[in-house]
Chains A and B, each alone.
Chain A
Amino acid sequence: MNKMGERKSMAIIASKGTLDWAYPPFILASTAAAMDMNVKMFFTFYGLPLLKKKIKAKVSPAGNPAMPMKMPFGPKAFQGLNWPIPNVVSNNVPGFETVATGLMKKTFKNKGVATVTELRDMCEQLGVEMIGCQMTMDVFGFERDEFIDGVNIGGAATFLEFAAEADIQLFI
């Protein structure tokens, strides 16, 4: 309850599975729960693996043509530089995703940003309900026991019943 005497609610669809896109749903869900909102997250398509016990999300340059790279080492001015990576490099050099993922994780750590797993743990502790999409499980061949405890499995109607009454609905 807040001072206005009513509990707000938020419904989030998490549909993307890269490291950069994994952050916003968990940041917003945990913060909303900390603001006493009732929060449910629906994980579907590429977002579903974010419910796996070990999150293996990577950065992908695909669809991020303006993605800048920062170097997590060296003098501060050097770390502040943006390194535009030509698509011909990011799309064709083997191992680029692994390197970019490592650099992003290191930069986040240097800046005191929590890991995706830590933020998901906070969501659990703050009572956020996480729903895995049954259809995506069937299509991609996931089993219930691959996911963290406490995950509920459901479909579009399960989510929409809650979303219909929610004050905030986000598709991420």
Chain B
Amino acid sequence: MTDYNEELDCSGMNCPMPILKTKMKIDTMKDGEVLRVIATDPGACSDMPAWSSRVGHELVESCEEGDKFVFYIRKDE
């Protein structure tokens, strides 16, 4: 379990909203902080790594919790 600073629940949202909401949320955070994102869209499993790799944030951990997908993203320093 990774420590995190902020949490964003994207349950029920479909592509591309989880990515857009994550982008907007992480823009309000400080460098080095970790955002925990919860999603139910299976597409997020490939989209979240693609997005974070593109913009340079670190996808620290991703896992499944029940029927949800959880991502921990550290804002690029």
Contact = CB atoms under 8 A, between A and B. Distances in A.
Contact of A34 (B12, B14, B23, B41): B23
Most chain A CB within 10 A, of B19, B24, B55, is at B55
A112 B17 contact: yes
Contacts of A125: 24
A31 B12 contact: no
B56 A31 contact: no
A30 interface: yes
Interface in B17-43: 17, 19-20, 22-24, 40-41
Interface residues of B, number: 19
A36 B19 contact: no
Interface in A80-103: none
What's the interface size class on A, roughly? 10 to 19
Secondary structure call for the A interface:
loop
A160 interface: no
A34 B76 contact: no
Contact of B14 (A2, A31, A112): A112
A34 B13 contact: no
Contacts of A3: 53, 55-56, 76
Interface of B: 12-17, 19-20, 22-24, 40-41, 51, 53-56, 76
